[in-house]
């Protein structure tokens, strides 16, 4: 799982669930059963909502020592204060056939304020410049491949100290190298999408849909203008942002190499 639920005390819940679950005939396996319920919880958190059948199918009969996953679901999970007792879980009204839901709790999500004031590259100095990048770019950050861009609402803010701003600027403008892999995903900030929709496939089409086409065109214009020596009307950080955005989108395969090449 991702780390945005750092306040969730997994061990404490495992112990509590171990006490809640009906033990098997020999009085064993409570902890294993508790762990299987936590596995269901993880899936529910990831997907936002899931039906009974899907959740039931996640349990392995061998581990929980029930005949079938359905037996485990019916006798150990459904109707007991186990899965539904976990934070953010909303169980369906009996008989409706509605899915189970997970709603992120207030305060859950990234701790933006804790991270917002350090340089994403050296993680030490005070920010001086930086850029706002489209959500999919988070994948290019160090540690960013653990983050689902669809869990991000809006842009990813990468802040850099003065020294790192110049390093990143040189990389992007002169060497055409993205500075993002040098930046720590934990040191950048974004708003968490309130309800995650894990069922949405984050394929290239989705990534593309998350970007405003006109915005991409603007970035291409800025980079072109800078290469033509005609970028006085843009601030240096705006130009940095344009370079880094285009490098990233190319790397992610969202735009082709020909989109911003010089004539
Ligand atoms: Zn720095």
Q: Residue 227 Cα, ligand 1 centroid: separation in angstroms?
A: 26
Q: Residue 159 Cα, ligand 1 centroid: separation in angstroms?
A: 9
Q: Residue 192 Cα, ligand 1 centroid: separation in angstroms?
A: 25
Which tokens go with 51?
Answer: 């039906």
At 105 the pLDDT is 64
In the chain, what's the furthest Cα-to-Cα distance?
79
pLDDT level of residue 63 (50, 70, 90 thresholds): confident
Could you tell me the pTM of the whole model?
0.52
Q: Residue 126 Cα, ligand 1 centroid: separation in angstroms?
A: 7
The mean predicted confidence, pLDDT, of the chain is 80
Instruction: Note residues around ion ligand 1 (Cβ under 5 angstroms).
Output: 119, 121-122, 125, 161, 164
Q: Residue 129 Cα, ligand 1 centroid: separation in angstroms?
A: 10
- In terms of average pLDDT, the best of 35-39, 61-65, 149-153 is 35-39
> Bridge-partner residues for 189, per DSSP?
157
Residue that wins the pLDDT comparison between 2 and 93:
93
Q: Residue 246 Cα, ligand 1 centroid: separation in angstroms?
A: 22
Dihedral sign of CA atoms 81, 87, 89, 91 in order: positive
Residues 113-127 pLDDT 10s: 343 478 999 988 888
Q: Residue 214 Cα, ligand 1 centroid: separation in angstroms?
A: 31
Residues 195-238 pLDDT 10s: 444 434 455 555 556 667 777 888 999 999 999 999 999 999 99
CB 87 within 8 A of CB 8: yes
CB 81 within 8 A of CB 20: yes
Q: Is 11 exposed, middle or buried (0-12, 13-18, 19+ CB in 10 A)?
A: exposed
Residue that wins the pLDDT comparison between 178 and 213:
178
């Amino acid at each position: 799982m991702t780390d945005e639920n750092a306040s969730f005390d997994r061990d404490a819940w495992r112990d509590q669930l171990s006490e809640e679950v009906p033990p098997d005939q020999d009085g064993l396996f409570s902890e294993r059963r508790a762990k299987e319920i936590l596995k269901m919880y993880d899936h529910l958190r990831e997907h936002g909502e899931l039906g009974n059948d899907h959740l039931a199918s996640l349990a392995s009969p061998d581990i929980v020592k029930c005949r079938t996953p359905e037996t485990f679901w019916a006798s150990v999970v459904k109707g007991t204060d186990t899965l539904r007792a976990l934070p953010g879980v909303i169980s369906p009204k009996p008989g409706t056939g509605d899915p189970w839901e997970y709603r992120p709790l207030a305060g859950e999500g990234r701790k933006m304020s804790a991270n917002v004031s350090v340089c994403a590259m050296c993680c030490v100095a005070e920010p001086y410049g930086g850029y706002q990048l489209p959500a999919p770019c988070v994948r290019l950050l160090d540690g960013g491949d653990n983050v689902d861009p669809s869990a991000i609402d809006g842009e990813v803010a990468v802040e850099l100290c003065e020294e790192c701003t110049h390093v990143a600027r040189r990389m992007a403008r002169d060497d055409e190298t993205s500075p993002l892999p040098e930046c720590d995903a934990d040191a950048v900030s974004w708003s968490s999408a309130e309800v995650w929709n894990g069922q949405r496939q984050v394929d290239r089409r989705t990534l593309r849909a998350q970007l405003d086409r006109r915005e991409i065109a603007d970035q291409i214009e800025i980079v072109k203008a800078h290469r033509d020596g005609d970028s006085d009307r843009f601030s240096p950080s705006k130009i940095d942002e344009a370079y880094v955005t285009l490098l990233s989108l190319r790397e992610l395969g969202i735009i082709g190499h020909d989109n911003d090449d010089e004539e």
